[in-house]
Amino acid sequence: MKNILAPSILSADFAKLGEQMKITQDAGATWAHIDVMDGMFVPSLTIGMPVVKSLRKASDLFFDVHLMINEPKRYVEEFCDAGSDMVTFHLEAEEDIDGTIDLIKNKGVQVGITIKPKTDTEAIRPYLDRVDMVLIMTVEPGFGGQSYIDACTEKIVAARKMIDATGRDIRLEVDGGIKLDNVHVVLDAGADTIVAGSAIYGGDIAANTRAFLERL
Ligand code: DX5
Ligand code: ZN
């Protein structure tokens, strides 16, 4: 499976979202990672469906929407309708995981599941026959610009093994603290989809995007 870079717009200038996403695209990016926070599952608040809908009109990037919200089942259909290409939700945040997966799939949108650093990687196993992506968080979700948690590397390795054992084409994404100088660590561990926020949007966006793409 081809490695993919998913620049996280969390670290972009929110007054220039469309413009700045276009810079990553012109530099070669094909995905945009969109972080949705509810002030409950995580302490911060970010963006909701209306912003995704507006960005959809402004961009043809693949929208990789990362829901950090409680009871995501309440909102997944709206995020699909807003123009998401992939909707990923936290297993810790939802009781009806199968029902949530069904709602996303029924919309014809790809579905991802994700776990926080302290959640046992085994939690993903029951859903591997039905999902398109697994996201292993490599920081505590909630904020951009944190440091990569080294203990997460073995979780990436464990998830890689589980995914390979299924024989299915499931993406393995990592998110949090990924920089140019440690991206090789997560790639070596088996990740194929790399989220980077502050390392892309904090500085020369085009140059950062190109530098990451060269390393994938
Ligand atoms: C954090 C978000 C991340 C964030 C990553 O909860 O899920 O996507 O944007 O930011 P960096 O790459 O700066 O750690
Ligand atoms: Zn994210």
Q: Which residues are catalytic?
A: 35, 175
- Ligand 1 atom at minimal distance to the Cα of residue 202: 13
Question: Quick one: pLDDT at residue 163?
Answer: 98
Of the candidates 64, 60, 65, the residue with the CA atom closest to the CA atom of residue 75: 65
Q: Which ligand is nearest to the CA of 10?
A: 1
Of the candidates 46, 110, 98, 36, the residue with the CA atom closest to the CA atom of residue 67: 36
Best mutation site among 139, 174, 178 for ligand 1 pocket (most ligand atoms within 8 Å of CB) = 139
114 lines ligand 1 (CB under 6 A): no
CATH of the domain at 204: 3.20.20.70
pTM summary value: 0.98
Q: Which ligand is nearest to the CA of 196?
A: 1
Domain limits for position 99: 4-215
Question: SS in 3 state form for the chain?
Answer: CCCEEEEEHHHCCHHHHHHHHHHHHHCCCCEEEEEEEECCCCCCECCCHHHHHHHHHHCCCEEEEEEECCCHHHCHHHHHHCCCCEEEEEHHHCCCHHHHHHHHHHCCCEEEEEECCCCCHHHHHHHCCCCCEEEEECCCCCCCCCCCCHHHHHHHHHHHHHHHHHCCCCEEEEECCCCCCCHHHHHHHCCCEEEECHHHHCCCHHHHHHHHHHHC
Question: Quick one: pLDDT at residue 8?
Answer: 98
Question: Quick one: pLDDT at residue 113?
Answer: 99
Task: Report the chain (216 residues): mean pLDDT per 10 consecutive residues.
Answer: 97 98 98 98 97 98 99 98 99 98 98 98 98 99 98 98 98 98 98 98 98 98
Centre of ligand 2 to C-alpha 87, Å, is 11
Centre of ligand 2 to C-alpha 126, Å, is 22
Question: Quick one: pLDDT at residue 133?
Answer: 99
Domain count, the chain: 1
Tokens of 48: 């909701």
